[in-house]
Structure 1
Amino acid sequence: TSLFSDVPPSIAFARVALEQGPDAVNFWLGSSASVTAMHKDNYENVYVQILGQKHFVLLPPVDAPCVNEKEVLAGTYAPK
């Protein structure tokens, strides 16, 4: 079955909190061994965990000098 059909096109609390609809909807799938490198997203996020657990380390922007932050060009979502 398709999981996508179980996901509404708009999530009311997110639309209210972000004061707009989503720019993009991404789906990430990984095993228990999956690890994501430290990074900064240049957009707002709503994260949904369907099964298992994910550990986040969130840092305030003022801590950027302490983590050797480097400037990387922002990605752009372009639907096909």
Structure 2
Amino acid sequence: MDLQNNIINFESLNDKNTLELVQDRLKPGETLILDIGNNYFHQADKVYDILSKNGYYVRKTLVNGRNQLLVAFEDGKHKMY
């Protein structure tokens, strides 16, 4: 699977439209990467809470000093490992 097309730079976006953005871009069986960046204002925690409370698998990662969230559907058929 090529994740290059599923990376969203989330630094310039706000957490209020998170659900809308993820619903538009994420398809069943895919993983979406939200690149938060430096996380100065704790956006990663806010976005994590929003998505996990709305039925998504969410995993926090740190890649090259940048905070990222891996997001996938939470259901019986699609699992993120």
Higher strand share: 2
Under a length normalisation based on structure 1, what TM-score does the superposition of the two structures give?
A: 0.31
Higher relative contact order (CA 8 A, sep 6+): 2
Higher helix share: 2
Larger radius of gyration: 1
